[in-house]
Amino acid sequence: MGLVEHEYQLPVNDEEWRALATQAQTCVENFYHLPLLNRLKNLDSSEWLELEELNSFQIDGCKIWVSLDACYRRDDQIILLDWKTGKSDEADHSLQMGIYAMYASEKWGIKPDQIFLKEVFLATGKTREYDSKSLDLEGVQNYVKESIQQMQNLLSRPEQNHAEESNFNFTEDTTQCAQCNFRKLCPKWHSGDSE
């Protein structure tokens, strides 16, 4: 296993790694105390739909990748679970949840109001639930379409999905670089001005 801290030789002080180890242990303990776990254990194999598979669907002819942590059928409903291991249980993930709901609706041919999503915050044991009413799926779809359009506007030959690297600026938000998987390839990283 390679962690980003190892790959990039990032300093991690004793206090930090101990806190992370404790958090990981708390997440595992909370997982085993989830009331939901009994339901999951008792599901028939025919009720399980997906477990951490990389899949995709299309919006405006563009492939959108999704990987559901866990997904199962209950009567005529579909339940999507998303495990969160971070400390905060307050960040807004409604865009991610909305995209999952759109994927599930298309994949299993069911109406959005038959889809229920549950975020499980393993560090605190709290959960947050969503349904089609709380998600504003039309707004999510519009956001994704606009985002696709913005990226396609930067392509030099859109019909061939061809891009010139020089048309894409480096992010000015350097906190993004800290967790970026492409830092070793990124000229901004190599030129040493990513700090």
Residues that bind ligand SF4 (CB under 6 A): 170-171, 176-177, 180, 182-183, 186, 188-189, 194
CA distance 90 to 6: 29
Nearer to ligand SF4, 65 or 168 (CB): 168
Q: What are phi and psi of 124, to 5 degrees?
A: -115, -15
Distances (CA, A) of 155 to 69, 152, 158, 165: 32, 5, 5, 9
Contacts of 69 (CB under 8 A, 6+ apart): 51, 52, 81, 82, 83
Nearer to ligand SF4, 61 or 192 (CB): 192
Q: Which is nearer to ligand SF4, 134 or 176 (CB)?
A: 176
Q: Compute the distance between CA of residue 131 and CA of residue 118 in angstroms, rounded to an integer.
A: 9
User: β-strand 54-59 against 115-121: which pairing, if any?
Assistant: unpaired
Amino acid at the residue 1: M
If the CB atoms of residues 73 and 183 are measured against ligand SF4, the closer one turns out to be 183
**Beta strand 115-121 with 126-131: parallel, antiparallel or unpaired?**
antiparallel
Task: Kindly report the number of other CB atoms within 10 A of residue 78's CB atom.
Answer: 21
Identify which of residues 148 and 180 has a Cβ nearer to ligand SF4 in the complex. Answer: 180
